[in-house]
Amino acid sequence: MHRVAISGTGLFTPSDVITNAELVASYNAYAERQNALNAEAIAAGTAEPMPFSSEEFIVKASGIERRYVMDKTGVLDPDVMRPILRERSDDELSIMAEIAVAAAKEAMERAGLAAADIDAVICAASNHERAYPAIAIEVQQALGIRGFAFDMNVACSSATFGIQAAADMIRSGSARVILMVNPEITSGHHEWRDRDCHFIFGDVCTAVVLQRADMVTSDNAWEILSTRCITEFSNNIRNNNGFLRRTREGHMQDRRDMQFRQEGRKVFKQVVPMVTELMLSHLADEGVAPADLDRMWLHQANKSM
């Protein structure tokens, strides 16, 4: 079994930034309009008024003060409430591949590697803009990488599982160097009209180069000593959009469940003990005490988790 190291990382961040003040103004304008349209039903008690948001609420609930998006104009327009992205032809680089290539080039440069050095590409993301061809293969072609590539989706844990998959392939000897990209345009499947989640996500792409530890030339590499994954099904985070939508009556309706939705408090109660148990058991099996850790990077939707 080969030892594995992360030898380079890359980051793409969009230029558009949405502050909490901008987000609140947009959402509250939409909520006020919807409440006016449904005033009679609200007065009759047959409909609930949309709650208003505030900067204080967002910071208290999440600690988030701003987020980056591919297009803020559409997101902040109360008549639109979604990003407006230009449709590209089949002959153009897709938008997910474009930001993945940008992050990948930075990661490759930091690893001191060229396209000819890489054996495979993994594109791991919570959503993909199309079913096929794979975004990973498009990135592979754009960078001039030979070998193989594939997409994978494990929701918001996609990057973690992408690293796990790459590390396992390198450990086993089926690849020496793998590029893992994580292009997330969550603004496209986020629900900006829901007060309980409209502030959580933004857009970004990260990239990681993993390779056999004995081949690393980068002066800022990190060896992966051990990995562990766990999954558990839950309906508390869900997005029902998919290719079978067109087979159902009323498939073009703008239904709430066709974008990201969650039961935040239930997610918190599920995730925190589950992750804590996983981390403690992992550390114990490796003979590492929590006090021995200098730093932890945790994926979470708010600072309280």
pTM for the whole thing? 0.91
**Closest listed residue to residue 179, CA positions, set 127, 153, 226, 141:** 141
**So what's the pLDDT on residue 100?**
99
Query: Is the separation of the CB atoms in 131 and 245 below 8 Å?
Result: no
**So what's the pLDDT on residue 243?**
78
**So what's the pLDDT on residue 300?**
66
Dist CA 286 CA 225 (whole Å): 9
Dist CA 172 CA 153 (whole Å): 22
**Closest listed residue to residue 224, CA positions, set 280, 171, 275:** 171
**So what's the pLDDT on residue 263?**
73
* 282 φ, ψ (degrees, to nearest 5): -65, -50
Dist CA 222 CA 107 (whole Å): 13
**So what's the pLDDT on residue 252?**
67
Active site residues: 156
**So what's the pLDDT on residue 120?**
99
Calculate helix-pair angle for 20-37, 55-62, nearest 10 degrees: 120
Task: Please enumerate in sequence order all residues whose Cβ is within 8 A of that of 71, keeping only pairs 6 or more positions apart, or say none.
Answer: 16, 83, 84, 85, 187
Pairing relation of β-strands 237-238 and 261-262? antiparallel
Q: Which stretches of the chain score pLDDT less than 70?
A: 252, 256, 300-305
Dist CA 35 CA 48 (whole Å): 9
CA distances 177 to 101, 115, 116, 214, 220, Å, are: 17, 10, 10, 11, 16
**Closest listed residue to residue 196, CA positions, set 255, 147, 151, 236:** 236
Q: Tens digit of pLDDT for each residue in 251-278?
A: 767 776 777 777 777 777 888 888 899 9
Q: Which fold has domain 4-292?
A: Peroxisomal Thiolase; Chain A, domain 1 (3.40.47)
**So what's the pLDDT on residue 217?**
95
Q: Tell the residue number behind the tokens 């794979």, with chain if given.
A: 134
**So what's the pLDDT on residue 301?**
63
